[in-house]
Amino acid sequence: MAVRFGVIGLGNWGAMHVAALGGHARAEVLAVCDANGDRARETARGEGVPKHYDRVEDLVADVDVDAVSIATPDFAHTDVAVAAIEAGKHVLIEKPLATTLADCEKIIEAAARSDRKFMVDFHNRWSPMFIQARQAIDDGQVGEPRLVNIRLNDQISVPTDLLPWAGRSTVTWFVGSHAVDTVRWLFGQEVERVYAVKRSGVLSSTGIDTADFYESTLELAGGGVAVVENCWILPNSGPSLFDLQCELIGTKGAIYIDASHHGALATYTDQKGTYPDLFVCPRVRGQVQGFALESIRSFVDCIVEDRQPMCTLEDGLAVSKVILAMERSADEGRPVEV
């Protein structure tokens, strides 16, 4: 059985959804959709996808589509998700679930009336590094986790060049949602209180109305503490598009993760250095691989095997609540309960 997918939103990560699903033996990309009709047409032609649409309503009305993968901008998930759910589709949503509490609840309420599968794509849970860390915690190797420092930052080209809608989002929604879910998953606990600060100036000087960075302290239900750094003004000359570091300190040990440098291959010429991705979504003999695609592909397996996905809509709601508390705390200059 091949699950027939429609991919909605064909920016950089939407294209990865097409590649991930197209490379899965149990899936078929039957249709793609983007508000830019030319982009939808060109993607369909280039990837051998039979159908293309420029209206979400038309894709979700396609009775041949079994499931949809939503890779629209952070703030544009809700109406797409609800339309797909009400059309009887299985739904995979890129993180975050939604950027307001009301929108998260609207999606969850629609899903409660459906018997389909739903998942939010927090792909760090498929990262070999974080899987090993979680296993070490579960095995008691480091005792009870007490303190996590996690840094997930982007080069400035992400908001200035890759995301034309960066001014309508924040770095907390774009990468902070990954960091917050990773903290929740490693601790196995929910965040109860946050204190965050932010600073602006670099991006606003370019006409992009969004904060440069957030620094947040999260207090978890079991007494643990996480310090989360999210910034998207790193220089473009760095070795990696993103910088991901994590230090976890437990009552009996510690774990250190450096996931920033794509797998430790570097090539230097007299002109420049290059650091190809060997880890997140590399191409091997023309095929896209890597843990960031495995999360997408796992959703296919959950549909075929009738299993509950690892990352639920409730996980998405929990993360969005934390992000909203972080942003409110930074705005008001005080700790905020989640």
pLDDT of residue 284: 65
pLDDT digits (tens, 9 = 90+) for 274-313: 666 666 766 666 667 677 889 999 999 999 999 999 999 9
Closest CA to 122 of 314, 263, 270: 314
**Mean pLDDT, range 233-250, rounded to an integer:** 91
The band of 244, judged by pLDDT with boundaries at 50, 70 and 90, is: very high
pLDDT over 60 (residue 262): no
**Mean pLDDT, range 245-255, rounded to an integer:** 97
Q: What is the DSSP string of 102-143?
A: HHHHHHHHHHHT--S-EEEE-GGGG-HHHHHHHHHHHTTTT-
**Do residues 321 and 101 lie in contact, with contact meaning Cβ atoms separated by under 8 Å?**
yes
pLDDT of residue 237: 85
pLDDT digits (tens, 9 = 90+) for 17-66: 999 999 899 999 999 999 999 999 999 999 999 999 999 999 999 999 99
- The C-alpha atoms of residue 190 and residue 315 are separated, in whole angstroms, by 10
pLDDT over 70 (residue 144): yes
211 contacts: CB under 8 Å, gap ≥ 6 = 170, 171, 198, 199, 200, 203, 330
Q: What's the length of the chain?
A: 338
**Which residue is listed with tokens 């008691």?**
140
Closest CA to 170 of 149, 193, 198: 198
**Mean pLDDT, range 159-187, rounded to an integer:** 97
- The C-alpha atoms of residue 34 and residue 59 are separated, in whole angstroms, by 10
pLDDT of residue 270: 78
Averaged pLDDT of the chain: 94
DSSP 155: B
Give me the sign of the Cα torsion angle 168, 169, 171, 174: negative
pLDDT of residue 293: 87
pLDDT of residue 241: 86
pLDDT digits (tens, 9 = 90+) for 182-195: 999 999 999 999 99
**Do residues 234 and 136 lie in contact, with contact meaning Cβ atoms separated by under 8 Å?**
no
pLDDT over 80 (residue 140): yes
Q: Report strand pairing: 27-33 vs 3-8.
A: parallel
**Mean pLDDT, range 101-130, rounded to an integer:** 96
Which residue type is seen at 197?
A: V
pLDDT digits (tens, 9 = 90+) for 77-95: 999 999 999 999 999 999 9
pLDDT of residue 282: 64
The band of 271, judged by pLDDT with boundaries at 50, 70 and 90, is: confident
Closest CA to 21 of 39, 33, 6: 6
Q: Which residues pair with 283 in a beta bridge?
A: 288
pLDDT digits (tens, 9 = 90+) for 311-320: 999 999 999 9
pLDDT over 80 (residue 71): yes
Its pTM surpasses 0.75 = yes
Q: Which residues pair with 130 in a beta bridge?
A: none
pLDDT over 80 (residue 206): yes
pLDDT of residue 227: 98
pLDDT over 80 (residue 153): yes
Stated as kind and residue range, the H or E segment containing 313 is: helix 313-332
Structural domains in the chain, CATH included, are 3-116 (3.40.50.720), 125-282+318-337 (3.30.360.10)
- The C-alpha atoms of residue 28 and residue 49 are separated, in whole angstroms, by 9
Cis check: omega of the bond before 96, within 30 degrees of 0: yes
**Mean pLDDT, range 116-121, rounded to an integer:** 98
